Amino acid sequence: MLAAVILAGCGGSRGGGQAEGPQTASPPPAQAEPILLPPILPDPGVAGPQFDDGRIRIALLAPLSGREARVGLALQNAAELALFDAADENFILRPYDTAGDAQRAEQAVQQAIAEGADLILGPLFSTATTAIAPYARAAQVPVISFSNDEVVAGDGVYVLGFLPRDQVDRVVRYAEVQGITKYATLAPSTPYGRSVAAALQDSTRAHGVETVKVTFYDPTTPDLSPIVKQFSEQERRERQQRLDDLPYQAILLPEGGARLRALGPMLAYYDIDHRQIRLLGTAQWDAGDVATEPSLGGGWYAAPGEESRIAFERRFRDAFGSTPPVIAGLAYDATALAAILAREGKIGGFSAARLTADDGFAGVNGIFRLRANGLNERGLAVYEIDGGMKRVIDPAPQSFAPPLIN
């Protein structure tokens, strides 16, 4: 069975409120509360004592100062919410400020390890994750990073961020079942765009269909019209008087926001009709007012289901007075996951076998599980843009089949 790491109800908040605990277990009623220590600035010159008092110590590495301090505070608040939802009195969570800087992250992880951290949650960025990894590995302390950079994963470092490959594979699997066999992508020449293009090629190959066209563009280009015109092969089709003669049935557009809303009309202008060629997207499509662009109508994209996230956002607002960024859910899930494993007993600790259990966990953004290669796998829904709104056309799974990622 999945271990649930988010409450179904709306009650409970910070300060040890009477929230219902995770579905797998609930703490004894008359026990002391878990401990949230104040954040500290790292001091790598001070080596703390080694602890053997039966308590579980979790380090949260987050940018609590600097440009990303608002995000860092949201991560800390979400972790605090999970602390009082899921942990018992033997669970200690301590935030460490990375200031969004790799060097500060190195100092923070050294102090966290010296102070007896059993598990490290964070940091937020891939550069900081790369910086702390050697220290964590040397101390044999696992890391659950909030990054979505696959490069930093492995050998005790797990990435909990939303991976493009999951989103691409989910929408391709759905499209293939609907009879789409030939795919193209028009992607920005960025690490994200290239990772999406690579994921498309991997996914189509795995499902016995084909990626027939991959085009990249400079993301700093102010006018994409020439690129879209070339991609559309409009001149060739006009010469041949065959405007419907395209080598693909679907186009994957790994963009969001204003750039995506601009691409849709450009494709239509160059005779790529969204009623004939299916437009596909990633979770970037799930933000803002993308669904209101008519030329994206009928488009499909994969993203987490919303029910648990809406409940989490409501509880976060009640507790802290603001709407959390999407990434705050990762801090909640990571902290609750740690609390659940800690409550099950310290035999095995945070071993790879326990962290990567095939059944996975049910969290803020649906089911997820960590894999032995350091990546994560999520159960995603498929949405369709329809009449200026999004609607679920294939719900997110509630449990995992055998591993999809080895």
Tell me, yes or no, whether 403 lies in a domain.
no
Tell me, yes or no, whether 402 lies in a domain.
no
Q: What is the pLDDT of residue 19?
A: 34
Q: pLDDT tens, 234-274?
A: 777 665 655 566 899 999 999 999 999 999 999 999 999 89
Q: Residue 195 and residue 165: Cα distance in Å, rounded?
A: 8
pLDDT exceeding 90 applies to what percent of the chain?
76
Tell me, yes or no, whether 401 lies in a domain.
no
Q: How do 361-363 and 366-370 pair as beta strands? A: antiparallel
Handedness of CA 60, 61, 64, 69 (dihedral sign): negative
Q: How do 250-252 and 182-188 pair as beta strands? A: parallel
Q: Please check whether residues 277 and 195 belong to one and the same domain.
A: yes
Q: Please check whether residues 213 and 321 belong to one and the same domain.
A: no
Q: Which residue has the higher pLDDT, 315 or 24?
A: 315
Q: Residue 254 and residue 283: Cα distance in Å, rounded?
A: 9
DSSP string, 305-344: -SHHHHHHHHHHHHHHSSPPPTTHHHHHHHHHHHHHHHHT
Q: pLDDT tens, 5-15?
A: 543 333 333 33
Average pLDDT of every residue of the chain: 87
Give the pLDDT mean for 322-349. Answer: 89
The residue type found at 77 is: N
Give the pLDDT mean for 379-400. Answer: 95
Q: Give the residue numbers spanning the domain of 150.
A: 3-161+306-374
Which 3 state secondary structure label does DSSP give 359? coil
CATH of the domain at 317: 3.40.50.2300
Tell me, yes or no, whether 18 lies in a domain.
yes
Overall number of domains in the chain: 2
Q: What is the pLDDT of residue 288?
A: 80
Q: Please check whether residues 103 and 235 belong to one and the same domain.
A: no
Q: pLDDT tens, 151-161?
A: 999 999 999 99
pLDDT exceeding 70 applies to what percent of the chain?
83
Q: How do 376-378 and 366-370 pair as beta strands? A: antiparallel
Give the chain's end-to-end CA distance (angstroms, integer). Answer: 20
Give the pLDDT mean for 97-123. Answer: 97
Tell me, yes or no, whether 281 lies in a domain.
yes
Q: pLDDT tens, 274-302?
A: 989 999 999 999 988 899 999 999 999 99
Q: pLDDT tens, 218-232?
A: 999 999 999 999 999
Q: What is the pLDDT of residue 239?
A: 59
Q: Does residue 345 register a pLDDT over 60?
A: yes
Give the pLDDT mean for 375-394. Answer: 96
The residue type found at 150 is: E
Q: What is the pLDDT of residue 236?
A: 75
Q: How far is CA 205 from the centre of its chain?
A: 24
Q: What is the pLDDT of residue 234?
A: 72
Q: Please check whether residues 229 and 353 belong to one and the same domain.
A: no
Tell me, yes or no, whether 56 lies in a domain.
yes
Cis bond before residue 294 (omega within 30° of 0): no
378 neighbors 162 (Cβ within 8 angstroms): yes
Residue 190 gets which letter from DSSP? S
Q: Please check whether residues 367 and 258 belong to one and the same domain.
A: no
Tell me, yes or no, whether 404 lies in a domain.
no
Q: What is the pLDDT of residue 372?
A: 97
Give the pLDDT mean for 17-22. Answer: 34
Q: pLDDT tens, 196-217?
A: 999 999 999 999 999 999 999 9
328 neighbors 307 (Cβ within 8 angstroms): no
Q: What is the pLDDT of residue 343?
A: 85
Q: Please check whether residues 168 and 292 belong to one and the same domain.
A: yes
